[in-house]
Structures are given as structure tokens and as C-alpha cells.
Structure 1
Amino acid sequence: MSRSGIAVADESLKAFNDLKLGKKYKFVLYALNDAKTEIIVKETSKDESYDTFLEKLPENDCLYAVYDFEYEISGTEGKRSKIIFFTWAPDTAPVRSKMVYASSKDALRRALNGVSSDIQGTDFSEVAYETVLEKVSRGAGSH
């Protein structure tokens, strides 16, 4: 339970584990249910295109997402993959929606073990591929 009293649905954890362990999905979108009592799976996708993911982010509403982000590191390291947690709260979303999503984020975020980066997006420039790539690869050489 979060401070806002919102619970994380079992299916939300299952979808995350299917992405993380089973590699079943490329990304999972999460939303609050209509009653605003639970965080549920809005959609799952196997689509490899990052653009497809971006197209799913609503222009005027909030959501959470988990994305299995693959990228190449120059040199000998080759392909890496990191699970990224997105909080999408565009400036154009209703204030009430932004408040509820902000206050219930911790419940979902704490439940998802194995996320390596958090991205907060208020407009599309903040979730652009290059922006995310820079953020995840910045810490890549230091492990």
C-alpha cells in the first residue's frame, strides 16, 4: 500500500516478472484503475521498436511503464539491457491525475525488484531514446 492507499495488483507484478525473467515482453504499461484504488496492467507489448513505446504514452494523461531497454556499448562489451521504470506525467495532464500518480508511484516502484533506472517524463524530450540511452549508459562503465 502506498501513502495514497493504492495497492499494486498481482497481475502488475506478474507482468513485470514476465518481462524481467521470462523476457516475454518488451514493455508493460501500468495505470490506475477507474476507482483509483489499484495499479493495474494497461497493456503489454513485445514490439521491439522504442517508437512504438513512445506512441503509447498518452498526451494528456499519466501512466507508469517498465521497459526492457537494450543498447550497445562501444568496444568489447556488446549488448546490454536494463529495465527502466518510467513515470509519465505530461504537463498537460489534469492536476488531480498528476497528484495521484505522484503519490502512488512508490507502491509500484518498491514492488518491482530489478529496475536499474528511473525516468521521470513530463514531455517527450525527456523520454526520447537518446535521453534515456545517455542516462543508462552513463553508469554502465562503472560496475
Structure 2
Amino acid sequence: MSDNTARSDEAISIWKKLLVTQEYGGLVLKIDDSNVEDGNVVVIDKKLMTDSYDELANSLPENDCRYALWTLTGTLSIFLIFWSPDSAPIKSRMKYSYEYQAVRNFYQHRFSIKANNPSDISFDNLLSIANIKRGGI
């Protein structure tokens, strides 16, 4: 993370569970900057209880940025999605862009996607990025 950003203990713990036990289908992470003295902290916004693509797509806000970590069943594919919709406030887009590389470096993943609209993370697009044919999972 940048010098001013940390990860919450919960985010680290759940991330490890996702990697080892696949107890969760994924995580949606947000930057919590409510405590200015501690700097930005990456915290869990939502835990995806399944690896359902619909659950992933519906968990991302229409008007704000997030990071999402999502697993694809039957593969070793973990996607890191940087969700930055055009409708998000510019301050939010800048903050998430600034922290993106640090998030990429910390959270182990196989595929990284920057998405500005739902079509960027369509299920077919994710399969294409992972070089998997539909039905080949």
C-alpha cells in the first residue's frame, strides 16, 4: 500500500480464507478514510458467499469505486477488479487509482481488470481474459 494505507485485520483474515479454504467466493474492498490520523485503510465492504457472477456484478456500487477479488469455480483463477465507474466522484476515482498498484501487489491474483462499466466485467469478458471457453469450466 502507499505509505498512508493499511489493510484491516479482517480483510487480511478473510483474504487468507478465500485463498486456502475458498470459504468465500470473493470480496469487495473499499477504502475507509474516515480516520484521517490513521490514513486510508482498505476494509471489507462485502463478502461474496458464493462465486456467482451475478453476486459479484450486483455487489459493485453504481456511483463509487471499489476493488473486488473474485474466484472462478473450477479454475485457479482469481480476478482483481478495479471498479471505477464514470459516474463516481472524481475524488474517489483519484484515491482508488492512487492505491491500485499497492492493492495489486498485496492481494495475490492471476488476472487484473480495470472496469469503468458493467460490460468491462461481463461474464464472457472475464472468461475471455482467463482464456476459458464458455462451458469449459
Determine the structure 1 residue equivalent to 2:2: 2
- TM-score, normalised relative to structure 1: 0.83
1:124 and 2:118 aligned: yes
Q: Structure 2: how far apart are the matches of 1:91 and 1:10?
A: 31
Determine the structure 1 residue equivalent to 2:20: 21
Task: State the AA in 2 paired with 1:110.
Answer: N
Return 5+ residue gaps in structure 1 as ranges.
71-78, 139-143
1:60 and 2:54 aligned: no
Q: Structure 2: how far apart are the matches of 1:86 and 1:80?
A: 17
Determine the structure 1 residue equivalent to 2:135: none
Return 5+ residue gaps in structure 2 as ranges.
133-137
Say what the alpha-carbon RMSD is for the aligned residues.
1.5
Runs of 4+ displaced beyond 6 Å = none
Task: State the AA in 2 paired with 1:21.
Answer: V
- TM-score, normalised relative to structure 2: 0.86
Determine the structure 2 residue equivalent to 1:50: 53
Contact 1:31 1:64 in 2 (8 A): yes
How many residue pairs are counted as aligned between the two chains? 128
Identity level (%): 26
Q: Structure 2: how far apart are the matches of 1:49 and 1:111?
A: 24
Decide whether aligned partners of structure 1 residues 121 and 17 sit closer, same or farther in structure 2, where only a CA change above 3 A counts.
Answer: same
Contact 1:8 1:107 in 2 (8 A): no
